Amino acid sequence: MHRDIMGKLSQWATRAHRMPLVLCGARQVGKTYVLDQLGETFEHYAYVNLMAEEARALFELGYNAQRVLENISIYTGSPIEPGKTLVVIDEIQEEPKALTLMKAFCEEVPRLHVAAAGSYLGMTHHAGSSFPVGKVEMVDMYPMTLVEFIRASGEEQLADLLRSLDFDRLAIFKDRLERLLRRYYYVGGMPKAVYDFIQGGEDYDAARRVQRQLLANYDSDFSKHIPDDREVERVRLAFDSIPAHLGRENHKFVFGHIAKGARARDFETAIQWIVNSGLATRVHRVDKLALPLKFYRDLSAFKLYLLDVGLLGCAMETEPKDVILSNKALVEYKGALAEQYVCQQLVAGGVDPYYWTSTSGGAELDFVVRYEGEVAPLEVKAEENLRAKSLRMACDHYHLYGYRTSMSSYRRQDWMANIPLWAVGEYFRA
């Protein structure tokens, strides 16, 4: 399965001056897969997975980079030659000494290609003394985007056409793109779920089995990496409440909805653990539609979106027909999936999303982003409901051009453009 991040990894590999690479992401987003692909472009490939106790022992000597590299060469049977060998240290969060040693690799063997992969949650746990700040290049990896899902489904030419944003030609394939989008709503972008779905001949049950296992794995990771048992319980409660929050008419995160009597001061650290782990995106409210948007953040008001739309659907116990059929049932639920999908595509495209509500609370914009140097209000419609009262109000008040994304076709008006949902990620890509 082609991953767009390979372009960024190839650029890193060909730069004359580079630091060791650390590829970060939540569990099972495909980090090892892309590093294996990168390794195939080198003459030698030395791969070490620190989940194995024997592999962790390679770093027992501490911070002697040359000695550790000799150990890795013996362990993997691969020569280690600068310019010819890619050294990959997988699951690097399992050994703090390996993480700290990245600084020595940077300073002592700058010509050697060294890359590491680690989970956000484990990396956050070692973000203090062990982390080689300023000595590594951090690259974030996310679940597969819709375009990557379409390509994996065997529709390479359609994926290329979607990336071109040639809306006149894309209109010909509108129905096919919509069907693929609805499948993506259910399957999501976790590579194993996508793979099993496709290999099983569009097997939705296979995708759901993977999603359930991933959610169980994330739950286990909380207790593994968070040292305080009470904090682990708070993290679990907060994480489990995200689907319920998104299923409400107002998707704003309310601490009182986590548990009876829950207060912000008790759960703020738990929320930060979830965000730092990459399992959720925190989208802050802005109280003014002006640049730079981060200056107008209201830190007390935010929404939380999960890592992946398929995982959200799994947590909500959806059925394929609930998502794939175009019907008017489950309106709030479909709205939550559509918003989750849009947030996921924006983040994967390098965009920082916010949302906005008026002072009176009578108007709300699902997302606000920076696009082509301007503030871009963005309203999300799950189907073809084209009412945009809040969008019009915000655009008139702040003199902005607006954007709506829906299942409707692309069209541009004097004050607003409608972007098909299947194109929103490519349209706003940074």
Question: What confidence score (pLDDT) does residue 126 get?
Answer: 57
Residue 56 contacts residue 95 (beta carbons within 8 Å): yes
- Among 26, 312, 245, smallest CA distance to 142 is for 26
What gap in Å lies between CA 205 and CA 379, rounded to an integer?
A: 32
Does 269 have pLDDT greater than 70? Answer: yes
Average pLDDT over residues 53-72: 89
Q: Do 272 and 398 reside in the same domain of the chain?
A: yes
68, 159: one domain:
no
Q: Which of 140, 157, 173 is the last residue of a domain?
A: 140
Residues 350 and 370 placed together within one structural domain of the fold? yes
58 plus 168 within the same structural domain: no
- Quickly count: other Cβ atoms within 10 Å of residue 235's Cβ: 27
* 95 and 186 both lie in a single domain: no
Residue 361 pLDDT grade (very low, low, confident, very high; cuts 50, 70, 90)? confident
Q: Please identify, among 78, 111, 140, the residue that sits at the C-terminal boundary of a domain.
A: 140
What's the domain range around 113? 5-140
Residues 196-228 have pLDDT tens digits of 999 999 999 999 999 999 999 999 999 988 889
What crossing angle do the helices spanning 204-225 and 174-187 adopt, rounded to 10°? Answer: 40
Is 312 in the same domain as 411? yes
Opening angle at CA 130, ends 124 and 264, nearest 5: 30
Looking at this protein, which amino acid is placed at residue 348? A
Give the Cα separation of 366 and 279 in Å (integer): 20
pLDDT confidence of residue 206: 98
Last residue of a domain, one of 140, 157, 188: 140
Is 162 in the same domain as 131? no
Which CATH number characterizes residue 133's domain? Answer: 3.40.50.300
**In a shared domain, residues 47 and 132:** yes
Both tokens assigned to 149: 């899902």
**154 and 212 share a domain?**
yes
The pLDDT tens digits for 137-182 are 999 999 999 999 999 999 999 999 999 999 999 999 999 999 999 9
Q: With contact defined as beta carbons under 8 Å apart, do 370 and 291 qualify?
A: yes
In the chain, % helix, strand, coil (3-state, to 5) comes to 50, 20, 35
332 has pLDDT over 70: no
C-alpha span between 155 and 179 (Å, rounded): 12
- Helical H runs in 77-202? 96-108, 120-125, 146-152, 156-164, 167-170, 174-187, 191-199
Contact indicator for 118, 24 with CB cutoff of 8 Å = yes
Residue 251: pLDDT band (50, 70, 90) is confident
222/372 Cα distance (integer angstroms): 39
pLDDT at 125 over 60: no
Lowest mean pLDDT among 56-70, 87-101, 202-216: 56-70
Q: In percent, how much of the chain has pLDDT > 90?
A: 81
Q: How confident is the model at residue 259 (pLDDT cuts 50, 70, 90)?
A: confident
Is there a single domain that holds both residue 56 and residue 15?
yes
Contact 395, 382 (CB under 8 A): no
Helices (H), 200-256: 204-225, 229-247
Whether the CB-CB separation of 174 and 409 falls below 8 Å is answered with yes
> Do 37 and 56 share a structural domain?
yes
pLDDT band at 61 (very low <50, low <70, confident <90, very high): confident
CB 198 within 8 A of CB 215: no
Question: At residue 118, does pLDDT exceed 70?
Answer: yes
Residue 342 tokens read as 């849009």
Give the count of domains, the chain.
Answer: 2
Going by pLDDT thresholds of 50, 70 and 90, the confidence category of residue 391 is: very high
pLDDT score, position 133: 78
| Over residues 34-58, mean pLDDT | 97
Task: Return the percentage of the chain with pLDDT > 70, whole number.
Answer: 96
The closest alpha carbon to 348, from 158, 110, 184, 155, belongs to 184
Same domain, 65 and 113: yes
